[in-house]
């Protein structure tokens, strides 16, 4: 039976040294912090031209998902109100316009979320 060799841990591999000023190091560290990666992982990803997603971008998607859920809940309440109190407080034209606005807003939120996640313009 052949013994499978485990790959060596990265800390045992020879490092690449890069000379940077304190300001440059701080700028690189800030970029790494924004992605949620360690400085080493960030530099490796950049050096290998790997796409990097910012933690800020993913947090924005989570916030947009909450907003989208809130829009859905408000639309549901509006629908419930329509079923219970049909014609009271608003004209059917106003209610239909509001429902159309909710659908448009939800579509815009979903579009923004996919632009962030899939890096589309």
CA distance 73 to 102: 10
Q: How many CB atoms lie within 10 A of CB 32?
A: 19
Backbone angle region of 30, left / alpha / beta, with phi > 0 → left and psi within -120 to 50 → alpha: alpha
Report pLDDT for 121: 53
Tell me the per-residue pLDDT of 79-106, one tens digit each, with 9 for 90 and over: 777 777 776 777 777 777 888 888 888 8
110 pLDDT above the threshold of 70: yes
The pTM is what? 0.48
Report pLDDT for 46: 93
Largest CA distance in the chain: 81
Residue 61, both tokens: 């998607």
């Amino acid at each position: 039976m052949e013994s499978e060799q485990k790959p060596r841990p990265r800390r045992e591999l020879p490092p690449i040294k890069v000379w940077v000023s304190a300001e440059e190091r701080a700028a690189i560290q800030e970029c790494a912090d924004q992605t949620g990666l360690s400085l080493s992982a960030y530099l490796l990803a950049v050096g290998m031209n790997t796409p990097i997603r910012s933690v800020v971008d993913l947090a924005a998607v989570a916030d947009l998902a909450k907003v989208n859920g809130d829009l859905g809940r408000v639309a549901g309440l509006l629908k419930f109100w329509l079923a219970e109190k049909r014609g009271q407080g608003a004209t059917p034209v106003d209610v239909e316009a509001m429902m159309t606005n909710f659908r448009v807003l939800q579509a815009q939120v979903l579009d923004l979320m996919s632009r962030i996640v899939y890096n589309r313009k």
